[in-house]
Amino acid sequence: MGGWVYIMTNKLNGTLYVGVTNNLVRRVWEHRQGDVAGFTRSYRLKRLVYFEGHDNISAAIQREKAIKGWSRRWKVELIEAFNAEWRDLFDEIAV
């Protein structure tokens, strides 16, 4: 994959963070460890609840910007269509 869009949270219906990366496992691991100062560390967003792959990073960045512009309700609907229980999906990608 060329790029990934992902959503992190701290709990069911908690604070949401939409991000983009070229290495999903590494980036989610960094969030989980609190390695990078910023929004996700401040709000302890360690649960990966959504992700989607794109052929190139430019497409992923464009999609990230679009999702960031959505209402919270739309973001929640996106998550729940993909992961209704808001499970942490890190173990599924880290194999």
- Average pLDDT estimate for 80-87: 97
Q: How many structural domains comprise the chain?
A: 1
- Nearest-angstrom CA–CA distance, 3 and 65: 13
Residue 44 belongs to domain with CATH number: 3.40.1440
- What is the pTM assigned to this prediction? 0.96
> Which residues are registered as beta bridge partners of 28?
none
- Average pLDDT estimate for 24-46: 94
Residues 57-76 pLDDT 10s = 999 999 999 999 999 999 99
pLDDT tier for residue 30 given thresholds of 50, 70 and 90:
very high
Q: Which domain holds residue 40?
A: 3-93
Residue 35's pLDDT is what?
87
- Average pLDDT estimate for 2-25: 97
